[in-house]
Structure 1
């Protein structure tokens, strides 16, 4: 999670995306100003000059000594010019102007701008003491430079109100900017999380589809390897199945890569996902495996399941049959699907533990882990392993809400 620095600026990648006027990071060394920075600094400079000019008019009406008036004018002009340094040395500038304002009146406008800058761009542990210093310097100013129209009490009260108002305004501006940075950070984090989840979904689809196709290729290739004397018709059928599954695997891979590479221009519609299998496609999957030489008994006693629910169950059966081809050879497989609305949808895939070790297709076990995650994400459960009867069992249950419809995509 991105941390905010003491000046309220983000610590890393979010920094480049924010205008420098929002960052307000005086930093150290040379400061590069954007167009907005120049506008803001110009407004601050004119504001300080305006306050200084108003104070100068009032000072002339008080008939101050000429030497003091000359010092006031020089320091007032320099303090207004120093406003342009507020981004580079905000704390130092605020301290110097606060000390000068303890006696000189025409530095008051620039001192207000410097205090506001520190309150916006520095934490309370820095801006608080600077504000306290400004309040302390009111005492010698009130004692040494009494106003003709106001007594000392009203002068102190007015000065205190101005300092606290400027400080509070800066604190509010700082809190608002930190809130904006936090919201942007959360939005960026949410976008990254969405991208990660989408990549994981695509990776699961790639594994489910390609593992099925490649296992079919391996099965037919193994048949050609161990039956070189098979009849020409059977060899031709196996070669045709290899070509078909290789073509389908390449097509599936091309579609997935196309999704990963796709970047829709502004205003264009997002490329839709290719049609996903549902529970109605399960008999076609079983028939495809039968043509590859597997012996499968399908008991399907469920109909009308929502698309998302049917897709999850289809992928579970597909991966279970893929594992059966990898590790159990020609052993018969039983697939039982049963479910009704409101009670859930369950599936059991069983096969005897009679592996052909000489032709076993390698696997890392990631498929069963992925199936477990898929079932849990859908709100269901999945268990697998050997049974006391000497079978390997994959059993899954997925929730089927009463209010679910055929168009629902869980």
Structure 2
């Protein structure tokens, strides 16, 4: 056992402590060797901005040099020193991107000692306001404003009174800071708008992807409901031909006809689904979508497949049922008949449909226990789950239960707007 604290994270995983936002810490971060490799390469726009700032500092410095040369309060020796210091300050403007805080801080005493360095000091203060938070601008800008009286006390202006010169210097410093903060706020606004646009594009792409996924799920659900009914007919009649090869010719012909018809219908349904998956419309095959009015056709198909089906359709006008509601009811009845054919062959199935606008539509599929042995018919086991989801998406509910006598009851309620 070592003497380290088990609650203390390892040395390499300790979180970095937040440094204070004082000027020494900011300057130390600028001169941190680990940040040297993070400097981004200048773009064409950056070079244009740097040359503009440099020539601005040189132009203002030349005006300051002329003013110092003509100022009777400045000796010729100090004027030469002023110009040399200003030239160095203008050259230091190229460091404004890498060390903005340090450069602006150094330019405060340089601007006090040299009028020629005034342009470089203004560029450094502007750069600080653009690239650093307000807390650093408040420190250095406040110091720059505070030393304006000292500057004009050391070198009085030959053309302006002392008070007017101080006011002009203070207003100029505040204007430079305000301009830099305006540029910074505008950049942040543009970045925010750009991020918002990118986020909106990503959300739109995500919504489109989600819509495609929901569409694929609807297609898969529709494929299951349609093909399961057709393929179950194929399986039942093919099994009957397999286990009863000595059946009468009429029954064999009828079973073969059902197999042929079911195969053709399944192929048409599959082509329709493939057409949707390839980008076509849902009715690309030209076949109308089933509604509640097509329930009689479904019952007739089941009876042709030797099912005993009793239909009680108590809806006054099946044609008046909304298309989406009728299609959902049709698919539920289709799946219920498919399950009865697979799990209770030979049993009489009762389909009951009742409802009216404002009351909802109730559909019931009930069958007793099968009268004989049940052949093994493969199934996915997802039919009832898909029906429950379909009814839920339509705003209704679906329930099912196995009776004590071995029968099965499936019932669904769907909302029907008045």
TM-score tier, shorter chain, comes to: 0.7 to 0.9
Counterpart secondary structure, 1:276? coil
Alignment-derived partner of residue 106 in structure 1: 120
Preserved CA contact (<8 Å) 2:369 2:408: yes
Alignment-derived partner of residue 55 in structure 1: 60
Aligned-pair Cα RMSD in Å: 3.2
Task: Identify if the C-alpha distance between structure 1 residues 170 and 150 changes in structure 2 by more than 3 Å, giving closer, same or farther.
Answer: farther
For residues 331 and 155 of structure 1, the distance between their equivalents in structure 2, rounded to whole angstroms, comes to 98
For residues 217 and 331 of structure 1, the distance between their equivalents in structure 2, rounded to whole angstroms, comes to 19
**Which moves more between the two structures, 276-285 or 40-49?**
40-49
After superposition, the C-alpha distances for 1:181-211 in whole angstroms (9 at most, x for unaligned) are 3322221221122111111111110110111
- TM-superposed deviation, 1:248: 2.3
Alignment-derived partner of residue 282 in structure 1: 295
Counterpart secondary structure, 1:362? coil
Between 1 and 2, higher relative CO (CA 8 Å, sep ≥ 6) is seen in 1
The TM-score normalised by the length of structure 2 is 0.72
Alignment-derived partner of residue 250 in structure 1: 267
Q: Give the paired residue count.
A: 344
The 5 A counterparts of 1:62-211 are 62-63=67-68, 65-76=82-93, 78-79=94-95, 92-102=98-108, 103=110, 105-106=119-120, 108-109=122-123, 112=126, 116=130, 118=131, 127-128=132-133, 131-142=134-145, 143=147, 146=151, 149-151=165-167, 153-211=170-228
Counterpart secondary structure, 1:293? coil
- In the alignment, structure 1 segments of 5+ residues that lack a partner are 1-26, 84-91, 119-126, 263-269, 403-410
Alignment-derived partner of residue 19 in structure 1: none
The TM-score normalised by the length of structure 1 is 0.73
For residues 173 and 221 of structure 2, the distance between their equivalents in structure 1, rounded to whole angstroms, comes to 71
Preserved CA contact (<8 Å) 2:353 2:363: yes
Alignment-derived partner of residue 294 in structure 1: 307
For residues 110 and 192 of structure 1, the distance between their equivalents in structure 2, rounded to whole angstroms, comes to 49
Preserved CA contact (<8 Å) 2:369 2:407: yes
Alignment-derived partner of residue 314 in structure 1: 330
Preserved CA contact (<8 Å) 1:135 1:163: no
- TM-superposed deviation, 1:312: 0.5
Answer yes or no: is 1:362 the counterpart of 2:378. Answer: yes
For residues 404 and 171 of structure 2, the distance between their equivalents in structure 1, rounded to whole angstroms, comes to 94
Counterpart secondary structure, 1:228? coil
- TM-superposed deviation, 1:93: 4.8
For residues 30 and 214 of structure 1, the distance between their equivalents in structure 2, rounded to whole angstroms, comes to 67
For residues 70 and 134 of structure 1, the distance between their equivalents in structure 2, rounded to whole angstroms, comes to 25
- In the alignment, structure 2 segments of 5+ residues that lack a partner are 1-35, 69-78, 111-116, 158-164
Alignment-derived partner of residue 281 in structure 2: 271
Task: Identify if the C-alpha distance between structure 1 residues 51 and 241 changes in structure 2 by more than 3 Å, giving closer, same or farther.
Answer: farther
Answer yes or no: is 1:392 the counterpart of 2:408. Answer: yes
Preserved CA contact (<8 Å) 1:213 1:249: yes
Preserved CA contact (<8 Å) 2:122 2:176: no
- TM-superposed deviation, 1:68: 1.7
For residues 31 and 256 of structure 1, the distance between their equivalents in structure 2, rounded to whole angstroms, comes to 53
For residues 111 and 285 of structure 1, the distance between their equivalents in structure 2, rounded to whole angstroms, comes to 84
Answer yes or no: is 1:213 the counterpart of 2:218. Answer: no
Counterpart secondary structure, 1:339? strand
For residues 221 and 274 of structure 2, the distance between their equivalents in structure 1, rounded to whole angstroms, comes to 13
- TM-superposed deviation, 1:109: 3.9
Alignment-derived partner of residue 23 in structure 1: none
**Which moves more between the two structures, 52-61 or 325-334?**
52-61
- TM-superposed deviation, 1:326: 1.2
Preserved CA contact (<8 Å) 1:101 1:141: no
For residues 273 and 312 of structure 1, the distance between their equivalents in structure 2, rounded to whole angstroms, comes to 17
For residues 278 and 186 of structure 1, the distance between their equivalents in structure 2, rounded to whole angstroms, comes to 36
- TM-superposed deviation, 1:376: 1.2
After superposition, the C-alpha distances for 1:141-191 in whole angstroms (9 at most, x for unaligned) are 442784754445434433443343333333333332332233222212211
